[in-house]
A and B are shown apart, each in its own frame.
Chain A
Amino acid sequence: MREEPTDEVNAAIAEIARRYPQPRSAALMVLHFLQERFGCLTPPLIEQAAEQLGLQPVNLYELVTFYPMFRMRPAGRWHLRLCRTLSCALAGSAELHRYLCEKLGLDPSERGPQTTPDGRVTVEFVDCLARCHQAPAALCNEEEWDRVDKGKLDEFLRRLESERGDELG
């Protein structure tokens, strides 16, 4: 992964900014774009984007530190967001979160994003994903999981294991 924005990235930022009457409005969409492209929002990326949008770096830092979906450190290759809110809690999501954290050596009392030491998985206990009728709901990268249960989590853990096996050769 490249760390420095390229001309191509700058062109993409300019393209996003063109959709708005004022370039500052493009901030969120630009941050989404950079995070998707580079994995996380590093200071050089943020500062370069700020300059291109005609903003001070702080104008973007204050967004990155406010909005839960932005991160300044990389997430795992798999980012599992499990819903903790009422309808999912009634369907057992707290137990599922604890189970997964214990299996992965993470802290079950932590709701914010936590990544395994090998950098493979990030687990986050998030608020309502607007799929309460399919509780417990989860979002794994971009994949929407419904009615999550231990079986589904075990399957996920097995997938991680076999991936690791593949990498070790």
Chain B
Amino acid sequence: MAAERRLILRHIDQPGYTPDIDCYRRHGGYKTLEKALRLEAAEGPDGRRLTPQERLRQEVAVSQLRGRGGAGFPTGLKWSLVDRTSGKPIHLICNADESEPGAFKDRQILYKDPHQLLEGMILACYANEAHQAWIYIRGEFIQGARILEKALEEARRAGFLGNNILGSGYDLEIHIHRGAGAYICGEETALIESLEGRRPYPRVKPPFYPTVFGLYQCPTIVNNVETLCAVKHVIEMGGAEYAKLGSPNNTGTRIVCLSGCVRRPGYYEIETGKVTLRELIFEESFGGGLREGRRLKAVIPGGVSSRVFRAGEKVKLPSSDPSEQGAARAVDALDIPYDFTTVAAAGSMSGAGAIIVLDDTVSMVEALANIAEFFAHESCGQCVPCREGSFWISEILRRILRGEGRPQDPDELLRIARNIAGGKTVCAFGDACARPVESFVTKFEEEFRAACGARIGAPAGGE
């Protein structure tokens, strides 16, 4: 039977575990940082002499850790792209904007174990020689910001932040920056604009990565809350040991957020790729199945920005058996392991780990209308296809819900979605808003057509 594997959530929700520094230290907190700061230069695998910072970065590269913010970008690779020759200061930003509908994992860490994040962040800053860092926390986490302020104060007093940390000669300051209710601020270049005091309009790429031109045009690392906690465990366990958890190219653990029509919605930490979607939804140790008498209709595997799976849908995956030379095999979408690679190969994505379950009482038209309204409201308005497209998609869906849908509306929705997706916008929001539309309408075509043809006395095909 599949089970949780709690690494980051190890102490969270245990009776008596509190977010203060004493509790964290009683549970071994900041030991990894103390050790890391005492690390000395040593010879690397290729015989080259590595600085202590390089050794830490090496561990992260060896761990094959992938970012938990949504894109699954390899953290070691991101860090290796940092321009260390520019002479400009290197900045690090923790992305605590957590606003993808369906995601609520970072919040558990921020509210219940803030020092774990701080330890991971200080380690990441030290490894990258950053001396100034920020935590960008979404505006609605009012209590969360306060908990973090207190944690920062405690860490400063204990000598883990400030000048000459634990006598190592290393200086670091971390500050909190609160967002103010805009989803787009989670996109890393919008986040940087927001932190610079501007409207959060995502930046035009190239340059592709903030690791070269980020905050104040300085090399900047943006990492998610969960990623930075994983860094702490990578350094603690060693990269090779960490990489034994999970599956190849999907190492370590991930926190999965389960919501919607399941008996036990919640957050569950699993070894990446060791548990299937079916197990996550139906097993007693996870979602516990659906409510009495309900049947599964659809699963949104990675937040509302991901493509939906229809219950019973068969997806084509390249065979893992080498003798079959990658020939495609059809697998039930529910039986794919929950990781980055397989969910993507099946045509969707695991994103920030947000699974939303829909049962047979849910109208797919209503569900999509809800998602579309979110995107229409949250489009920053910078790019015309996204601003106008997201608005009209939402308007058409509202019209369908009012019973005034036209027979051509499903095709119209697809046409608009395709005119937004595929690199026509400055940031990935455009594709994010098109994916649910495209997948809902094609995979539940009948339902959308029925909703549009249901108008009594409507002339077929008429305007």
Contact = CB atoms under 8 A, between A and B. Distances in A.
A126 B101 CA distance: 11
B179 A28 contact: yes
Using C-beta atoms within 8 Å of the partner chain, give the interface range for chain A. Answer: 35 or more
A29 B196 CA distance: 11
B8 interface: no
A142 B143 contact: yes
A121 interface: no
A86 interface: yes
A27 B195 CA distance: 9
A86 B265 contact: no
26 contacts: A19-B175, A22-B196, A28-B194, A31-B180, A32-B178, A53-B197, A63-B180, A63-B199, A67-B139, A67-B181, A68-B180, A69-B181, A85-B304, A86-B304, A86-B370, A87-B260, A127-B101, A127-B183, A128-B99, A130-B104, A132-B101, A132-B104, A133-B265, A139-B140, A142-B142, A144-B143
Interface string A110-148: 010000000000000011111111110001001010000
Contacts of A111: 377
Interface string B185-197: 0000000001111
A28 B197 contact: yes
A66 to B, nearest CB: 5
Nearest to A143: B143
Given A21-B216, A68-B181, A133-B266, A90 B99 contact: no
B255 to A, nearest CB: 12
A81 B142 CA distance: 13
B77 to A, nearest CB: 27
Interface string A83-96: 01111011000000
B393 to A, nearest CB: 15
B125 to A, nearest CB: 16
A28 B140 contact: no
B197 A25 contact: yes
A133 B138 CA distance: 18
B270 to A, nearest CB: 16
A123 B38 CA distance: 53
A127 B182 CA distance: 10
A8 interface: no
A98 interface: no
A10 interface: no
Contact of A89 (B175, B181, B370): B370
Contacts of B183: 127
A48 B372 CA distance: 39
A66 B199 contact: yes
A23 to B, nearest CB: 8
Interface in B333-360: 354, 356, 358
A56 interface: no
A60 to B, nearest CB: 9
A52 interface: no
Contact of A22 (B98, B101, B142, B216): B216
Nearest to A55: B197
Q: List 10 tightest A-B contacts by C-beta distance, closest first.
A: A67-B180, A27-B197, A132-B259, A24-B197, A68-B181, A69-B181, A133-B265, A128-B101, A69-B180, A87-B259
Contact of A63 (B101, B197, B257): B197
Contacts of B100: 128
